[in-house]
Amino acid sequence: MDNPGGESLNYDEALEWVFNVRRFGPKRTLIPTRKILDLLGRPQDSFKIIHIGGTNGKGSTSAMTASILQAEGYKVGLFTSPHLEVFKERVKVNGEMIPGDDVARLLSAIRPLFEEMLGYSESMPLRFFDIVTAMALMYFKEQRVDYAVLEVGLGGRLDATTVVDPLVSVITNIGFEHTNILGDTLEEIAHEKAGIIKEDRILVTATQDELVFNVFKETADSLNSEVVRIGYDTMYQRFGSTLTGQTFSLCSLSGEYSELYIPLLGDHQVMNAATAVAAVESLSKYGVTITEKGVKEGLRRVYWPGRLEIIKTEPLVVLDCAKDAEATEAVRETITRDFTYQRLIAVVSISSDKNIPGMMMNISMIADHVILTTHRVMGRAADPEILAAEVKKHGKPYEIIPEQEKAFTRALELAKKQDMVLVIGSVFLAGEAREFLMGH
């Protein structure tokens, strides 16, 4: 997409501009999102879409879904957020990040439309995620992808990605997150997430909560949408695990898979894999056949760093993006069952809007020593003193080192060969640790 008459930004200038656009605001509607996409020629109509939301596991499930479709021979766009290390990770085609020049070009083209919409008699302010979503959809159109797998940014009903018309909608699960925006109860949050369900389509969900499932089922029924429930309509069983991955069997919509492998750790990733398989199998409603070979190859090749990712041995250094109580509980269970070590040193930063007591309880249960730090997203990281108050309740030794790199260095100093360093609590912290530790 060219930018006639508009100012051409370079990559750094484009990112500076978009990151300074407001992220949240009063009276959120999807009208501006639809308008910008109309002005851009409705790029979302150029390819088939699978739309994936939920509280935890939506990124992993998106990556697996895209990988299976790619293994099947399709050209696949993948849109996820937030990024782990660099902004370009958010938009990929067949696993390759969008080039920086394309980011700059597309954002330069969107910027004058953003200004134009602000100037309407009834102003239509776009938010950060509206713009990034539009950029991704434009890039996928230009690249002529067959499928786009889109991860919901926040919630569902009012998320920018929800303006699309997917063949399959996926809601992995529901937990307490962004309660100031989505609601204080699981039922309220479930109604927000259910906003991605579309008429006469298919919903795949992995929720195990009956109240949440009933919300999804009622919404789907009202829209004449089919429902596939993981663990009920499809069943899986894990039967092997190493520090590089795990094997499992799956009885799914298209039959049985006796031996599947994913290079990701934890029972929760097996559930995510089962969800991804059901999502692609659901395409059969539209005459699309996914082969067993495509499923096996796609899962085996999936790349999704920062999720119980081992980046060093002796000592073992593990990074995880767990950012709420449910995710830290899944990490705790996996580490307790599948990892062997003498002492565990946890490096922790948590965003201030999270369930800090629940997260710190799970982390403290497995940690022998806790290093409390911050992350570099301004205004988001909780004060380490608040985290310290929670660690004290569980009687674990701790220290506060606000500078991330000093915190990582200190953890490595404390760890002996047989120990584990676990970096946990935030996507932002995991990304910073990955960048720092893989360079040392």
The three-state (H, E, C) secondary structure of 371-434, written as one string:
EECCCCCCCCECCHHHHHHHHHHCCCCEEECCCHHHHHHHHHHHCCCCCEEEEECCHHHHHHHH
> Given this model, what pLDDT does residue 440 score?
63
The pLDDT of residue 179: 46
CA gap 222, 199 in Å, rounded: 8
Determine the pLDDT at residue 7.
Answer: 81
In tens, the pLDDT along 183-195 reads 567 888 899 899 9
Copy the structure tokens of residue 57: 């596991």
User: Using CA atoms, how far apart are residues 245 and 242, in angstroms rounded to an integer?
Assistant: 5
Quick one: what percent of the chain has pLDDT higher than 70? 95
Average pLDDT rounded to a whole number, residues 406-430? 96
Q: What is the pLDDT of residue 307?
A: 94
Model pTM? 0.94
| pLDDT for 22 | 81
pLDDT greater than 50 at residue 425: yes
Return the percentage of the chain with pLDDT > 90, whole number.
86
Q: Please, what are the domains in the chain?
A: 11-301 (3.40.1190.10), 309-437 (3.90.190.20)
| Spatial contact of 193 and 264, defined as CB atoms under 8 Å apart | no
Q: How many residues does the chain have?
A: 440
Its sign, for the CA torsion 415, 420, 424, 430, is: positive
pLDDT above 90: residue 74: yes
- 318-367: pLDDT as tens digits: 999 998 999 999 999 999 999 999 999 999 999 988 899 999 999 999 99
Read off the pLDDT of each residue in 151-177 and give the average, rounded to a whole number: 91
In this structure, are residues 81 and 89 in contact, taking their beta carbons and an 8 Å threshold? no
**pLDDT band with cut points at 50, 70 and 90 for residue 161:** very high
Cα–Cα distances (Å) from 299 to 235, 304, 387, in that order, read 17, 11, 37
Under 8 Å between Cβ of 433 and 348: no
pLDDT of residue 376: 77
* pLDDT above 60 (res 181): no
Whether the bond between 315 and the residue before it is cis, its omega within 30 degrees of 0, is yes
Quick check: 356 and 326 in contact, CB under 8 A? no
The CB density around residue 258, as the number of other CB atoms within 10 Å, is 10
Supply the DSSP symbol for 126.
P
pLDDT at 3: 58
pLDDT in tens, 353-410: 889 999 999 999 999 999 999 987 756 889 999 999 999 999 999 999 999 999 999 9
Query: What values do phi and psi take at 265, rounded to 5?
Result: -110, 150
Q: Are 44 and 138 in contact (CB under 8 A)?
A: no
Q: Locate the DSSP E strands across 152-234.
A: 168-171, 202-205, 226-229
Does 230 have pLDDT greater than 60?
Answer: yes
Q: Tens digit of pLDDT for each residue in 106-153?
A: 999 999 999 999 999 999 999 999 999 999 999 999 999 999 999 999
Q: What would the mean pLDDT of 243-250 be, rounded to a whole number?
A: 96
Q: What is the pLDDT of residue 284?
A: 97
**Which tens digits make up the pLDDT trace of 42-60?**
999 999 999 999 988 999 9
Mean pLDDT of the chain: 93
